[in-house]
Amino acid sequence: MSAFTLRDAQAADIAAITDIYRHAVLYGTATYELTPPDAAEMSSRMAALQTDGYPYIVAVSGSGETVAYAYAGPFRTRPAYRWSVEDSIYIHPDHQGKGIGRALLTRLVELCSERGFRQMVAVIGGADNMASIRLHERAGFTMIGTFEGSGFKFGRWVDTVLMQMRLGDGRHSLPDETRYPGTLFKG
């Protein structure tokens, strides 16, 4: 495993984040976007999540290069879902398989738990995306189900795998409405 550190994402990371995501859009099924967004759009997306109180973090190599990123965002936009988040993790192809995804997911779970969120959902593009499925299993996610043929990318139908992890007490106690830091669901 190569040396890396995790930290909150910053505006200076946008170029690397945009490049990492571009590769995922063009060559993978982790995202169902078909056209890679530009740096301005990626910056806007990051700012919106951070403003709403969601964690957005990066992995930085020993040489200072941003090599991966992860964030949590709303699972769905209806207010009753406000305690559930969806995780997203993207790793530069040259840095996959080095434990970075595990470290990012572990930290993301910690940050979301600290912020009072109760469920984390993984929406995994491709039932054949075993690296992501295994990553989430090892972190404690359980399989919820598969939407067969729910995406169409690269000239073929792609399944969507749903996995879920309880954060904190999960559904076993009421949430603390005063802890939620985001503005997304506040009137």
- Contact of 67 with 61, CB cutoff 8 Å: yes
Does residue 16 register a pLDDT over 50?
yes
Report, as an integer, the average pLDDT of 89-99.
Answer: 97
List of residues 6+ apart from 123 with CB closer than 8 A: 86, 160, 161, 162
Nearest CA to 157 among 129, 123, 125, 132? 125
- Contact of 70 with 90, CB cutoff 8 Å: yes
Rg (CA), the chain: 16
- Can you give the pTM of this predicted structure? 0.94
Position 175 scores a pLDDT of 87
Q: For the beta carbon of residue 1, count every other beta carbon within 10 angstroms.
A: 9
Does residue 1 register a pLDDT over 50?
no
Using DSSP bridges, classify how beta strands 84-91 and 119-125 pair: parallel, antiparallel or unpaired. parallel
Residue-wise pLDDT tens digits, 114-151: 999 999 999 999 999 999 999 999 999 999 999 999 99
Direct distance between the N- and C-terminal alpha carbons of the chain, in angstroms, rounded to an integer = 46
Position 187 scores a pLDDT of 46
Longest dimension (CA), the chain: 47
Which residues share a beta bridge with 151? 158
Domains in the chain with CATH codes: 4-172 (3.40.630.30)
CA contacts within 13 A on the Cβ side of 169 = 7
Position 79 scores a pLDDT of 87
